Amino acid sequence: MSAAFDVIIGLEVHVELKTASKLFCGCSTAFGSAPNSQTCPVCLGMPGVLPVLNREAVRLAVRSALALNCTVRPYSKFDRKQYFYPDLPKAYQISQYDLPLAEYGWVNIRPSGQDVKRVGIRRIHLEEDAGKLNHLGQRLGDAVGSLVDLNRAGVPLIEIVSEPDMRSAEEARLYLTELRAVLSYLDVSDLRMEEGSLRCDANVSLRPRGYTGSLEELPRVEIKNVNSIRNVQRGIEYEIARQAELLSRGERIVRETRGFDDVSGRTYSQRSKEEAHDYRYFPEPDLPPLVLQSEWIEKERAALPPLPDAIRQDLIARGIPDKDVEVLVLDREAYQYWKEASPAFSDDRLLVNWMLSDVSRLLNAQGRTFGDCPVRPRQLVELLTLIQEGTLSGRMAKEVLDAMFETGQDAKTVVKQKGLSQITDESALMQVVQRVLEAHAHVVEDYLSGKDKALAYLVGQVMKETRGQAKPDLVNRLLKEAIRGGQTVSG
Ligand SMILES: [Zn+2]
C-alpha cells in the first residue's frame, strides 16, 4: 500500500432480529421453510392492508442499541424507501430515514500491539427485510430464470451504520468480530452470515495525504453482501490495492457498488452507487411515530447481560492469559461453558487451558461447538480434579477425555474400565523400584559416582514397567530413598 493515501472504511451491518413473527405482520420468521409458505396479504404487499409494528422487534433493537453504547431516541419514525426489485412486492421498504431509532454509539477494538481504539456508530435503525431471488443456474449471468421467495419479506432487521473510523481491513475485521460478539451475548439474532442473518456492506475510499475536503466527498466504493468476516477483510484488501493502483496511475475512482468473488478474491463492478435522494424517502403514512418512554428504555438497559468489555476485565482479574481471554470472550458458548464449570474448580488457568486446547481440538474434529459439547462442564471438572488429586497424569487424562467424547461417559467410569489411574500406593511402587535397581546395578553405580543423568534413566525404566501409571515425582523420591538405603546396608 502506497504511503500517499489513508484508507477510510465504514461498515453497514444488517442484523436479522430473532423474533417469532415478522416486523409488520404475524407470519413466522423461521429459516428454511418451503418457499412462500410464510406469507400473508401484509408481507405480500396487497392493496389496502395495514402494517402493525412488532413490539418484540422494537425491544430487541433497543437492547442492541444500548449494548452498543447508543443513545436511543424517545421519538423516531418510519419512512418508505422506494425502489423496484422483484423481491420487494410493495416497491418500497419500510425503514427509518431522518429520525432513526438510535445514534452516537461505539465499539472498542484492539488492534494488535496498539491501544484500544474506539470505532463510532453513527446510527441504528429498524427496517424490514426484502424477499429473496433464487436464480436457476450456476450464476446470475447464465441463469435461465429466477424464482421469488417472499418468506424473508418483512423479517425485522436493524442496520448498524459505523462512522468511517477504520483505517485497514484488519480493523474492519476486528470491528465486525467485536460487534458480533456483543450481539451474541444479547441473544437478539442467530448471527449466521452464511444464512444471511448477519450481512455486511463495506465502504472503502482512499484519502490522498493533504486532502482537506470532507470524507463524504471522497469517491467511495461499496462492497455488497459478503458472506463471511474473512471475505469482508479480503474484499477490502483487494479494493484498497485496486484503488491505490488506479490513483497512482492518475486515474479517477468511480463511485459504485461492487460485488466480491470469493474464488478469485476480487471485487467486480455491479452498478453505479445510488444516493439517498434516488430513493425518494417519504414518511410512512400507515404507521404512527415510535414513541419510547424513558422508564422503559432504562428498564431494558438495566436488564442487559454482562458484555464483552466487562467479561474481559473479569477474566483477566482471574489470572487467565490475555490470549485465552480473547478466545473465550469472542465465543459466547465457550464463555458460558467456562462459567458453568468454573465455580466447581479451583484452577481457572488449568480449566481454560484444557478447554482451549484438548476440548477445542476434539470439538473441531467433530464439527461441534462448546454449546453441544458431548463432555459437559461438570464432567470436565471431574476429569481435571483427577489430575489435581494425582490419580491421572496429563497424558492419561487426554486418553480419558478422548473416550469421554466418544461414549459420553464420566471420567471415573472410563478410568475404571480402562484400568487407568496412577499408582500412588508407595509400597507397590517400591517393589518395582527395587526390581529396576537390581536389574541396573551399573547405572546405580554411575549415579553414585556423580552422574545425575543416570537417575533419569532409572525413572524411565520404572515408568516403562508401570506403563506410565506411576507419578514421576514419586518415582524420583522412592528411587533416591532406595539407593540411599541400599548404600547404608552394603556400607
Ligand atoms: Zn405476513
Q: How far is the CA of 182 from the centre of ligand 1 (A)?
A: 30
- Shared-domain flag, residues 395 and 431: no
- Shared-domain flag, residues 317 and 450: no
Q: How far is the CA of 32 from the centre of ligand 1 (A)?
A: 16
| Residues 217 and 178 sit within 8 Å (Cβ to Cβ) | no
- Shared-domain flag, residues 317 and 286: no
Per the structure, the complete domain to which residue 200 belongs is given by: 5-299
E-strand stretches of 4-78: 5-16, 71-72, 75-76
Q: How far is the CA of 163 from the centre of ligand 1 (A)?
A: 34
Give me Rg for the CA atoms of the chain. 31
Q: Is the pLDDT of residue 125 over 60?
A: yes
Q: How far is the CA of 95 from the centre of ligand 1 (A)?
A: 17
Q: Tell which of 356, 390, 418 closes a domain.
A: 418
Q: Tell which of 270, 299, 328 closes a domain.
A: 299
Q: How far is the CA of 28 from the centre of ligand 1 (A)?
A: 8
Q: How far is the CA of 145 from the centre of ligand 1 (A)?
A: 25
- Shared-domain flag, residues 20 and 90: yes
Mean predicted confidence (pLDDT) in 166-182: 96
Q: How far is the CA of 51 from the centre of ligand 1 (A)?
A: 9
pLDDT in tens, 403-452: 999 998 898 888 888 777 666 677 778 888 888 999 998 898 888 888 88
pLDDT in tens, 342-371: 999 999 999 999 999 999 999 999 999 999
Tell me the pLDDT band of 3, cut-offs 50, 70 and 90: low
- Shared-domain flag, residues 271 and 371: no
| Residues 243 and 251 sit within 8 Å (Cβ to Cβ) | no
pLDDT in tens, 81-91: 999 999 999 99
- Shared-domain flag, residues 338 and 448: no
- Shared-domain flag, residues 316 and 228: no
CATH code for the domain of 471: 1.10.10.410
Sheet of strand 117-128, all strands in order from the earlier edge strand to the far edge: 71-72, 102-109, 117-128, 156-162, 5-16, 198-208, 221-226, 256-261, 266-272
Tell me the pLDDT band of 491, cut-offs 50, 70 and 90: very low
- Shared-domain flag, residues 274 and 362: no
Q: Is the pLDDT of residue 116 over 60?
A: yes
Cα separation, 435 vs 411, in Å, equals 32
- Shared-domain flag, residues 349 and 440: no
Q: How far is the CA of 225 from the centre of ligand 1 (A)?
A: 25
| Residues 273 and 256 sit within 8 Å (Cβ to Cβ) | yes
- Shared-domain flag, residues 114 and 253: yes
**What's the total number of domains in the chain?**
3
pLDDT in tens, 377-397: 999 999 999 888 878 888 889
- Shared-domain flag, residues 24 and 52: yes
Mean predicted confidence (pLDDT) in 9-36: 96
**Mean pLDDT value across the chain:** 91
What contacts 24+ positions apart, CB below 8 Å, involve 37-44? 37/151, 38/151, 39/150, 39/151, 39/153, 42/154, 43/150, 43/153, 43/154, 44/89, 44/150, 44/153
Q: Is the pLDDT of residue 489 over 60?
A: no
- Shared-domain flag, residues 284 and 325: no
Q: How far is the CA of 190 from the centre of ligand 1 (A)?
A: 21
Q: How far is the CA of 284 from the centre of ligand 1 (A)?
A: 18
Q: Tell which of 418, 435, 460 closes a domain.
A: 418
Write out the residues surrounding ion ligand 1, Cβ under 5 A: 25, 27, 40, 42-43
Q: How far is the CA of 102 from the centre of ligand 1 (A)?
A: 26
